[in-house]
Structure 1
């Protein structure tokens, strides 16, 4: 009889060990409430959203028990519309969306930081370089942005205002963030451009544009904004986070792990992970662009202490929709999930 019980106990132990070896089994106690969900992304081919791409391609979402469908949009404002409309559960987009939504009386919260710098470059098309020597010369210019109202547009507006030019003084034209950018520049549709990599590195390297403002580094970002400017985040309606804390934690775990991977990934690792279609037929260019923006990726997913205030100060300086006295910054983000995710990687 004792042998019988010992055999059963041994089999049970072996079964537990086998389960523990399964991918993601360590998180079984925190099984996501919503294992299948949709994430709206404001331009997946752009390096701005590389942590999302890495988390998907490297299987980090799956490791967390998640089946995430990535819905790609031309810009962050379009992705936000999908989340607001309910066709997407969470969004990957700029932190400032949470500020504007709160101003409308709707509560959205960023829960994982991907970018601590906007990664946005403002440049002038070569044929217009003699006329548009600085942003102060942009009055009347046609300027390409990924989508009106997106972060490329907002960073442009901040930079223009600093140069004494109002957003209403220029014409903003949506040109996406992929190959459509090249077409807009090549056809003479725009005079200048505010956009992200790898397109901006490609255009700079070919001599098609001249760079005037560069927020691909923390240093360049602080020069323009006077502090840390949080950029790409994962965000969701407050109701989603409250209802699905384990799912939110699982998403954060995957993104923070992807952030961590990007800090040390080799060029070969990166080229193996990124789909061929995103390399623009030029792997060397893509790698150059990646190294241009690498400093912008958050190492731990945590919102910097001065980040939300910097964002609100910059945006409220020109947008009357944002009254700093009426915005509760503490309700626009949380480090609760990222802190736990970062601790697991140590």
Structure 2
């Protein structure tokens, strides 16, 4: 009898061990997890919604969306919390990825001009001969900067874009005079404007300002994944999307102060009220339900066609750059 119990126990332990490792770990890269434009990612974790999925989900951060995209394409991550425009740019390059839940309908970005260059840069038409900071070459900040310049009649060859990341590295680049202006997000915007080190040139934090500058709603932050992975992991994708839809609803129904209370203290460092005020001013950029704005994809394609040589002249099937199936099921 003892002889039979021992191997049975061993078998049960082995089965339990195998079961622990049978669940696939899902890594999601975030293009700067501390940025308020990507707040739904960390907030979903803080609220416990990602844990409720029963999946092993890890959020990792890259300072620039283009770096997060590279990690996904290499297979090191299953998804990216980044800008929707990458799905179009990648399709033009022969790679199929799609947004499965849309976080925002406006970029939430701002072009700041340094105090030293304020007298010389009054609009994007003055970018000629200047050095402009972006999070990374090929990033969405780079895309939007190039578009705003082209719209103002300035060719990409007439100014320099310098990858300076976000947060402290962006602030340092501006303080050291390495960039004359640059595109960044909250809470970096408030830190620089409150100190007088920079001023706002182009504001894309609200729907009204975005429509004026870009010609319509500009779906930006989202969770995008390789189409092939989505097709073969529908159950997992549904659980993740449902968690994010719950998070977006939380954002819509709670104040900036209540949301900030849920975030890790190091996200707002020494000035909590500044973080709250910044979030209050731009909270409307989030969709509230995860649905892709109806006219949004066409606006993004128009913007990319304005300067992106990879997209220009290509036949882009916008229907393949996003799906609303998982969001509808979550609702």
Q: TM-score, normalised by structure 2?
A: 0.90
When structure 1 is superposed on structure 2, of 100-109 and 80-89 the one drifting more is 100-109
- Pick aligned residue for 2:190 from 187, 201, 205: 201
2:310 is aligned with 1:321: yes
Matches within 5 A, 1:14-163: 36-163=25-152
Matched-pair contact (CA < 8 Å) for 1:160–1:167:
yes
Matched-pair contact (CA < 8 Å) for 1:120–1:155:
no
Partner SS, residue 326 of structure 1: coil
Q: Where do 5+ consecutive residues of structure 1 fail to align?
A: 1-32
Give the drift of 1:320: 2.0
Q: Distance in 1 between matches of 2:28 and 2:242?
A: 15
Matched-pair contact (CA < 8 Å) for 1:110–1:333:
yes
Partner SS, residue 229 of structure 2: helix
Q: Distance in 2 between matches of 1:324 and 1:264?
A: 43
Runs of 4+ in 1 over 4 A off after TM superposition: none
Give the drift of 1:173: 1.2
2:161 is aligned with 1:172: yes
Matched-pair contact (CA < 8 Å) for 1:142–1:192:
yes
2:248 is aligned with 1:255: no
Matches within 5 A, 1:196-345: 196-323=185-312, 326-341=315-330, 343=331
Give the drift of 1:314: 1.1
Q: Distance in 2 between matches of 1:169 and 1:274?
A: 41
Q: TM-score, normalised by structure 1?
A: 0.87
Partner SS, residue 162 of structure 2: strand
Q: Where do 5+ consecutive residues of structure 2 fail to align?
A: 1-21
Give the drift of 1:168: 2.1
Matched-pair contact (CA < 8 Å) for 1:218–1:296:
yes
Call closer, same or farther: CA 1:183–1:143 in 2, change over 3 Å: same
Matched-pair contact (CA < 8 Å) for 1:144–1:173:
yes
When structure 1 is superposed on structure 2, of 317-326 and 271-280 the one drifting more is 317-326
- 1:72-115 CA-to-partner distances (Å, cap 9, x unmatched) read 00110000000000111111111111111111111111110001
Q: Distance in 1 between matches of 2:170 and 2:65?
A: 16
When structure 1 is superposed on structure 2, of 76-85 and 170-179 the one drifting more is 170-179
Q: Distance in 2 between matches of 1:236 and 1:169?
A: 35
